[in-house]
Amino acid sequence: MCYVHRSHTLKVMFRDLQDPDSGLTGITVNSPEELGTILDSVRDRQPFCCEMVGQNDLKLTLGIGPNVGFVQYSADNGDPPYFVALAPHTPATSEVVEFLAGDTATPIDPRFCLSFEAVKQIASDFLRTGQRSRAFLWEEI
C-alpha cells in the first residue's frame, strides 16, 4: 500500500481522453494552481473526459464541461474497485450528461454530476493526497 503524506503534493500526469493531440496529454501537473489553470482552460469545450494519473498508480477520471462534471477514482491498471463521487444534496443537473472519450459519448447519471468547482476541488485534493477527497461521498460502481 502506498502512503502519501498530506504535506507533499503528488505529481500527476494529465491525459486528454477526447483529444490526445490537445497538447495537454502527458504533461506533469505539480501544483494545485497549475491544475486549476489547466482545468479552467478546457472547461469551454464540449463535455469530455480526461485523467489524472498519480505516481501512486491511482487515477481520477474527470468529466469536464462548462458547468458540470463528474469524478471517478480507481487504480490506473483498470482493476476494480471504481468509486464515483456523489453529487451533494442537489445535483448540478437533473438531466443525464454525456462526456466524450475517443468520440464516444459516456452518459453520466445526474446523481454523479457535480459542479465544475466541485470537480476542481476533488482533483486538487487528489493532487495533495493521492486519495479520494474526504469532502465528498463516494459510491462504488
What length does the chain have?
Answer: 141
- The CA-based angle 96-99-43, given to 5 degrees, is 110
Q: What is the pTM of this model?
A: 0.89
What is the rounded (10 degree) CA torsion for 78, 76, 22, 8?
Answer: 160
Please give the chain's pLDDT, 141 residues, in tens: 333 334 456 789 999 999 999 899 999 998 989 999 999 999 999 999 999 999 889 999 999 999 999 999 999 999 999 999 999 877 777 889 999 999 999 999 999 999 999 999 999 999 999 899 999 999 999
Q: Report, in angstroms and rounded to the nearest whole number, the Rg of the chain calculated over CA atoms.
A: 14
Q: Which helix (H) or strand (E) holds 124?
A: helix 116-129
The ranges assigned to domains in the chain are 12-140
